[in-house]
Amino acid sequence: MSITFQPVVRAQSVKYKGAALVGTYSVIIGWDLKDPSNRIGLKGFAIRRSELNPITEEVTELRWLRGYKRFKSDDSDHGEEVSSLEAPFQRFRWNDYSLKPENAYRFEVFEMRGDPGALVRSHKAISFLIRPSREDQDDLGIYVNRGVTAASAYLSRFKNKAPKEVGAAAYNWLSRGLKESLLEFIESTENDEALHIAIYEFHDPEVAQAVRDAVDRGVTVQMVHDAKPGKHSTEKNEKMIHDFQLEEISFPRTNVNISHNKVVIRLSNNVPKAVWTGSANFSENAFNFQTNTALVIRDPQVAVNYEAFFQGMKDNPLKKDSKIINLNLVTQANVLQDRFAEKTFFSPVRKKDLLVTARELVSSAKSIVMVSAPFGLDKTIIESLGQNSGKIIEYGLVNATAKRKIEKLHRKNTRFFTPSRLKTYMGKNWDAKAFGAHKIHAKSIVVDPWGDDPKVLIGSANFSNASCSDNDENALLIVGNKRLASIIASEFMRMYDHYKSRYYIDRFNKKNEEIEKENKQRVLNGLEPKPLRVMDVFLKEDEEWSRTSFDPNTSSHKFQDRIIFAGAES
């Protein structure tokens, strides 16, 4: 029997219970002790990762996972990285972001006890057998790029060379199927079909060439594009259209603040069949340097809805008229039976349904809320985050430009972070340079991805008044699609943990910078300089490492993180 994709894989052993949240290239594995008293004497966990043929279940690769931390008392020469058998992971969650959809995997988590240098692993592991999802299956393609060059993984592969210096290898690694999904959607369109495009930034020459080629082979193409005068992005749109002689298919959109969509609709015999939509503009930044998502939806009714939305923009109506058109569209779309999306959002529109829905999502959470909000959140959504039960985890990402807007969202189980680069760490270069527009750009909220009824709000729209009232935007609330929830959630956690670790290291370094600055004045005043703080890079040699994770009165997020990521629903 072949191993098939399951979005949530639950497991247990005599002492442990846990769950794996499975995406396309990522898996988030959490585990928890059934009896908390068993943490006494626990030194951490060793993890064995097996790569399998999903059809035969033959093991094709087996290795013990490794880390950088080690015991201070163990002076053995383990090299730069240490096997978790000798230096166990002192955590209750492991994330692997290097999966391949064509393989299956087994992760076995063994508890480790004993003294450093003479550790003993348990005979029975808690074991997770998983197979990643393909990007495109079940009439839904889900694509998430890597979205960051300021990472150690980029540095190890491409050094500090810009992608344009490296070439296709770097761009393919960064895009990871996102741009390719758009090109395939355009290039696979037959010469008797049609493509209707609505785009904010039409800046990528390869995409422009694909559109030009489609026109030349007989595809009927129409493109609504942002054209508000006086903007650099408008000038770039117009230049790309001119360079590829696409004026005859162009429908400039000027009567809204910004025409912010990223949508392509495919029609066959004038019948809408499929939609490519998401947060990614058609630009080098969007495909490679920003975190972005795209969906390929082959639900006929979704395609019909988006085509009606496109037709409502094509003649460049005034904003007030667009609000009437879009209100009628969403009202009809959201009462259909057996619809793909629980709610469809098209803007501009008079009502603030998108913000109301976002608040309701936050308030409905039973375990976790994951928020990717590049430009911050409407204050009413921030208020909702502050009113949730202490048992709910609220994790989020925003850009540095929105940092002040989320200052209150950094307390106990609510933690929001911004993109940053870790230039050096542990005495070595760590992250590559931040090339391009290094930022979060995906707009999504995921709620309860381990549950029976997960919710995902996703699209081009930021969580702001402007996205409701002033811009051309689209978004979908999709309920009960466990595959979508697990993929978007696991990719969110990839970026969340990436920036979280850099936040804490950067905060530590800034404290030392403050001490150094103070010491200069102290020396001038004849006083002894204060000692600098020393980062603890060693593992704990007793069970003290897990104390916070089992303290219900802690101000840390670790207590609830342990419970939720093991698959519990509050």
**How does pLDDT run across 372-412, given as a tens digit for each residue?**
999 999 999 999 998 999 899 999 999 988 888 888 888 89
* 314 and 449, same domain (yes or no): yes
**382, part of any domain:** yes
| Model confidence band, residue 123 (pLDDT cutoffs 50, 70, 90) | confident
Together in a domain, 94 and 196: no
Q: Name which of 4-8, 209-213, 399-403, 495-499 the model is least confident about.
A: 399-403
* Same domain flag for 485 and 425: yes
**Residue 274: CA atoms inside 13 Å, Cβ hemisphere, count?**
19
Q: Is the pLDDT of residue 77 over 80?
A: no
- CB-based contacts of 449: which residues, under 8 Å, 6+ apart? 7, 8, 21, 368, 370, 482, 485, 486, 488, 489
269 and 338 in one domain?
A: yes
Has residue 527 been placed in a domain? no
Question: What's the average model confidence in pLDDT over 246-256?
Answer: 98
Query: Residue 94 is part of a domain; what is its CATH number?
Result: 2.60.40.10
Alpha-carbon gap, residue 499 to 547, rounded angstroms: 24
Are 202 and 329 found together in one domain? yes
Among the candidates 501, 522, 537, a domain finishes at 501
Number of domains the chain is built from: 2
Average pLDDT over residues 91-106: 96
- Tell me, yes or no, whether 14 and 156 share the same domain: no
Query: Which pLDDT does position 80 carry in this prediction?
Result: 82
Are residues 288 and 335 located together in one domain of the fold? yes
Query: Distance between CA atoms of 515 and 512, rounded to whole angstroms?
Result: 5
CA neighbours within 13 Å on the CB side: how many for 338? Answer: 3
High-pLDDT (> 70) share of the chain, %: 99
- Whole-prediction pTM value? 0.96
Least confident span in 29-33, 214-218, 430-434: 430-434
3-state SS string for 22-35: ECCCCEEEEEEECC
Query: Does residue 540 form part of some domain?
Result: no
Q: Let me know if residue 506 belongs to a domain.
A: no
| Sign of CA pseudo-dihedral 151, 153, 158, 159 | positive
Q: 536 versus 260: which is more confidently predicted?
A: 260
Compare 216 and 403 and report the one with higher pLDDT.
216
Task: Report the mean per-residue pLDDT for the chain.
Answer: 95
* Proportion of the chain above pLDDT 90, given as a percent: 89
Encode 295-322: b = buried (16+ Cβ within 10 Å), e = exposed: bbbbbebbbbbbbbbbebbeebbeeeeb
Q: Is residue 570 predicted with pLDDT exceeding 70? A: no
Confidence at residue 534, expressed as pLDDT on a 0 to 100 scale: 86
Among the candidates 501, 532, 550, a domain finishes at: 501
User: According to DSSP H, which parts of 293-333 are helical?
Assistant: 300-314, 319-333
Determine the pLDDT at residue 425: 85
Tell me, what's the pLDDT at 437?
Answer: 79
Residue 525 lies inside a defined structural domain of this protein: no
337: pLDDT strictly greater than 80: yes
Give the CB-side neighbour count of residue 429, counting CA atoms within 13 A. 10
Question: Is 103 in the same domain as 162?
Answer: no
**pLDDT at res. 536:** 83
At residue 424, the pLDDT reads: 86
Tokens of 411: 């307390």
What is the mean predicted confidence (pLDDT) over 346-355? Answer: 96
In this structure, the answer to whether residues 251 and 354 fall within a common structural domain is: yes
What H or E segment, with its residue span, contains residue 235? Answer: helix 232-243
Residue 204 has pLDDT above 70, yes or no: yes
What is the DSSP pairing of strand 220-226 with strand 193-199? parallel
- Are 12 and 126 spatial neighbours (Cβ–Cβ below 8 Å)? yes
| DSSP type of residue 389 | -
78 pLDDT above the threshold of 80 = no
Which band of pLDDT confidence, cut at 50, 70 and 90, is reported for residue 194?
very high
* Domain residue limits at 287: 136-501
Q: Is the pLDDT of residue 569 over 80?
A: no
| In a domain? residue 477 | yes
Amino acid, res. 474: N
Residue 301 belongs to some domain of the structure: yes
| 289 and 306 both lie in a single domain | yes
Residue 374 lies in a domain: yes
Q: Evaluate whether 416 touches 407 at the Cβ level (below 8 Å).
A: no
The whole-number pLDDT of residue 411 equals 87
Which parts of 191-298 are beta strand (E)?
A: 193-199, 220-226, 250-253, 262-268, 271-278, 290-291, 293-297
Q: What is the CATH number of the domain that holds 152?
A: 3.30.870.10
3-state DSSP assignment of residue 371:
strand
Does residue 484 have a pLDDT over 60?
yes
* Domain edge (last residue) among 480, 501, 522: 501
Same domain, 33 and 143: no
Asked if 73 and 164 sit in the same domain, the reply is no
Strands (DSSP E) contained in 376-472 are 393-397, 410-411, 414-417, 424-425, 428-429, 439-440, 443-447, 455-459
